[in-house]
Amino acid sequence: MKKTLALLFLAVLIIGCGPKMAKQETLDALAEARAALESAQEKLAGLQAEKDELMARRTELEADIAALQAEIDELQAKIDARCAK
């Protein structure tokens, strides 16, 4: 993404410092840079959504683990109570 932004900045710099009319290849490079930037932003949004889903799933699983551990502890206490008699 940094490369894309650098390319976009370079393209803007070239356009600003160049002749009044930009060359077609410069315009093509700028369009390509914009397309790459948009693609990267879409991918970033998708990955962020996926990360959020995975974090929610992780929270659910940690709660399940805690509940199972509590059940194990309860059962172990019952076993210990019966074996102590």
Residue whose entry in the numeric block shows the structure tokens 């900045």: 9
pLDDT band at 24 (very low <50, low <70, confident <90, very high): confident
What is the predicted pLDDT for the residue at 60? 98
Beta strand residue intervals within the chain, DSSP E: none
Average pLDDT rounded to a whole number, residues 12-18:
65
Please, is 34 exposed, middle or buried when counting C-beta atoms within 10 Å of its C-beta (0-12, 13-18, 19+)?
A: middle
Q: Domain limits at 31? A: 2-84
- Reply yes or no on whether the pLDDT at 44 is more than 70: yes
- Reply yes or no on whether the pLDDT at 71 is more than 80: yes
Q: Provide the domain count of the chain.
A: 1
Average pLDDT rounded to a whole number, residues 3-8:
70
Q: How many CB atoms lie within 10 A of CB 14?
A: 14
What is the predicted pLDDT for the residue at 19? 57
| Cα(19)–Cα(21) distance, integer angstroms | 5
